[in-house]
């Protein structure tokens, strides 16, 4: 589903991005945020099937785990806000991909 989240161990992050003060990962804009327990994460990708949060640097959930969260984001012109449930599909490269458990929007 999210095959662009593949990890390549030989790839290094560019040193110029570290010095410039821009966020790593190309400086992509956040589409909103997701709150899991008391932690808040930025949404990098969002669609009707699921989402990717980046950076994900906590050990709250593991691959295959179902979890509940609160979302506050914009999908194009649509405001997405509320509580839902998802399943973690992959954690790699400092990002977490999850699929909604039921139709959310």
Quote the pLDDT of residue 105.
Answer: 63
Asked if 42 contacts 54 with a C-beta cutoff of 8 angstroms, the reply is yes
Residue partners of 31: CB distance under 8 A and separation at least 6: 43, 44, 45, 46, 73, 74, 75
pLDDT over 70 (residue 79):
yes
Quote the pLDDT of residue 86.
Answer: 95
* Look-up of token digits 């992509």: 28
- Dump pLDDT digits (tens) for 25-48: 445 578 999 999 999 999 999 988
Asked if 34 contacts 71 with a C-beta cutoff of 8 angstroms, the reply is yes
Say how far apart CA 63 and CA 76 lie, in whole Å. 28
Say how far apart CA 19 and CA 21 lie, in whole Å. 6
């Amino acid at each position: 589903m999210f095959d662009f989240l593949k990890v390549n161990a030989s790839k290094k992050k560019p040193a110029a991005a570290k010095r410039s003060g821009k966020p790593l990962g190309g400086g992509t804009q956040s589409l909103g945020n997701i709150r899991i327990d008391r932690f808040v994460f930025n949404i990098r990708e969002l669609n009707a099937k699921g989402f990717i949060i980046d950076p994900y640097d906590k050990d709250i959930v593991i691959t295959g785990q179902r979890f509940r969260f609160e979302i506050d984001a914009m999908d194009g012109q649509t405001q997405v806000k509320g509580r839902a449930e998802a399943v973690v599909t992959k954690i790699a490269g400092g990002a977490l991909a999850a699929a909604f458990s039921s139709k959310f929007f």
